[in-house]
Amino acid sequence: MSFLSFQGPNRILHLTWFAFFLTFLAWFNLAPLATTLSADLGLSRTDVDALLICNVALTIPARVVIGMLLDRFGPRRIYSALLWTMAVPCVAFAMSDTMTQLVITRLMLGCIGAGFVVGIRMVGEWFPREQVGTANGIYGGFGNFGSAAAAFLLPVVALQFVEDGWRYAIALTGLACFGYGFVYWAAVTDTPEGQTYERPRRHGALEVSSWASLGGLMVMQLPLAGALALLVWKLGAIGYLEGTGQTAAYGVIAALLLLQLRRSWTVNAPQIRAGIPEDERYAFRQVAILEVAYLVTFGSELAVVSILPRFFEETWSLAPAAAGALAASYASMNLLARPLGGWMSDRLGSRKLTLFVLIVGLAGGYAAMSELDASWPLPAAIALVMACSFCVQAGEGAVHAIVPLVKRRLTGQVAGMVGAYGTAGAVAFLTVQSEVADIHTFFAVIAGAAVLSAASILALKPVT
């Protein structure tokens, strides 16, 4: 079946990746316009850094929550509702005049990053197992390109207006999301005709099958809370959210963690005691391994894209525009690499081996990048960065070729937790980058994390 057609499952795929594209266009609409915005409102570099942190702060819990809602209510309702509701903070951000308004609206808008999770379940419902990797790769690759499109398009849009161009450009991304929510609602269904949408038996936490899996589920929630605590600490370090506010934020994170741990126990412990039927069982370690793999793939992508322009500019004395274009090419690789990673997972016979090889390639790529300096010819450096980018984004495709196959009726929650780890990885790696002495150490840390991820993949149960 040609994925270029607009019939049957392909129609759903194309409508869904465009919804994802719009969410990323809106989510990443700040960075390309940050200079203009800060000049217009008199913001400092520290103010802009705070807004960029706010942009990802709530994405982590939002992906988990959206995953739960998705499995319960279906992707058509959840994607449409997300597009409608997130248009509000997007337009409100464009209308903001004070730092307080900017912070509040940016925190809310960060929830739009959860849109990615919805399409993973939708694609899993519409495509057979032997094509789901390629389809999810197309969904992820073309949708993820929204971040690169924001960098290319929004400054051009802003220039079309005499005054307040950045406001119009940002507001238009929100209005596009709002309008497309109605298109998506009218044009898709959750499943092909005649099929039933399977829902979780229990609500409030991911279902697991054994005491060991329950322990693993509870342990794997700790790093997500840790990533949120890192964000709070970072906001304090740059002069925001100090004193009582910072203490209160830590308290909220701790309370939410305890609540989620309690829900995990109350949802699963009685069922485990009573006995889980064999056909309902699955190994939670599959989820944990995919979480770590997405941490080093998508997490490193978000982090590296944030620092590449400065790296190229300072190392090879490039003009800012040229350095920015090279950095954007790293994200643009999504159009090719992520679908190809899903296709490789579908076609090469072993999803486990495909993911392992790509993560090893990622580790090698970042290890080599840790040696990059001005002595390297620029073309060779670009080739290395692009090769590493291919492994990173093909690895993302290979991860989500497996996610829908773990347990179909729980796909939304699994995708939500895996996706949350991607954002948490970006937070962790960017924190490392801000604390280490040089960027080479930053690349080396990512390489080390990837080696650990590759080792964990050896424990992944074969998935066909």
For residue 109, give both structure tokens.
Answer: 């808008």
CA neighbours closer than 13 Å in the CB half-sphere of residue 152 = 12
**Residue the block writes with tokens 């679908």:** 339
Rg of the chain on CA atoms, in Å: 21
Q: In the predicted model, is pLDDT for residue 332 greater than 80?
A: no
pLDDT tens, position by position, 135-172: 988 998 888 888 888 878 888 898 888 788 899 999 99
For residue 180, give both structure tokens.
Answer: 């497309």
Which has more pLDDT, 380 or 335? 380
Backbone angles phi, psi at 193, to 5 degrees: -55, 135
pLDDT for the residue numbered 176: 96
Angstrom distance (rounded) from CA 223 to CA 229: 10
Instruction: Kindly give the residue spans of alpha helices, DSSP state H, lying in 188-243.
Output: 211-219, 222-237
Report the alpha-carbon angle 398-399-403, nearest 5.
Answer: 120
pLDDT for the residue numbered 433: 82
Angstrom distance (rounded) from CA 44 to CA 101: 16
pLDDT for the residue numbered 331: 74
Percent of the chain having pLDDT more than 90?
A: 47
pLDDT tens, position by position, 164-198: 889 999 999 999 999 999 999 999 999 998 888 88
Q: How far apart are the first and last CA of the chain?
A: 19
What burial class does residue 377 get, using C-beta atoms within 10 Å of its C-beta: 0-12 exposed, 13-18 middle, 19+ buried? exposed
Average pLDDT over residues 248-277: 92
CATH of domain 1-188: 1.20.1250.20
User: Under 8 Å CB-to-CB from 225, ≥6 apart: which residues?
Assistant: 253, 254, 256, 257
pTM here is: 0.89
Structural class in CATH, domain 282-464? mainly alpha
Cα 340 to Cα 92, 104, 359, 411, distances in angstroms: 38, 38, 15, 22
What is the DSSP code string of 19-87?
HHHHHHHHHTSSGGGHHHHHHHHT--HHHHHHHHHHHHHTHHHHHHHHHHHHHHH-HHHHHHHHHHHHH
Q: In the predicted model, is pLDDT for residue 2 greater than 70?
A: no
pLDDT for the residue numbered 464: 62
pLDDT for the residue numbered 412: 86
Instruction: Kindly give the residue spans of alpha helices, DSSP state H, lying in 348-410.
Output: 351-369, 378-406
Which has more pLDDT, 326 or 101? 101
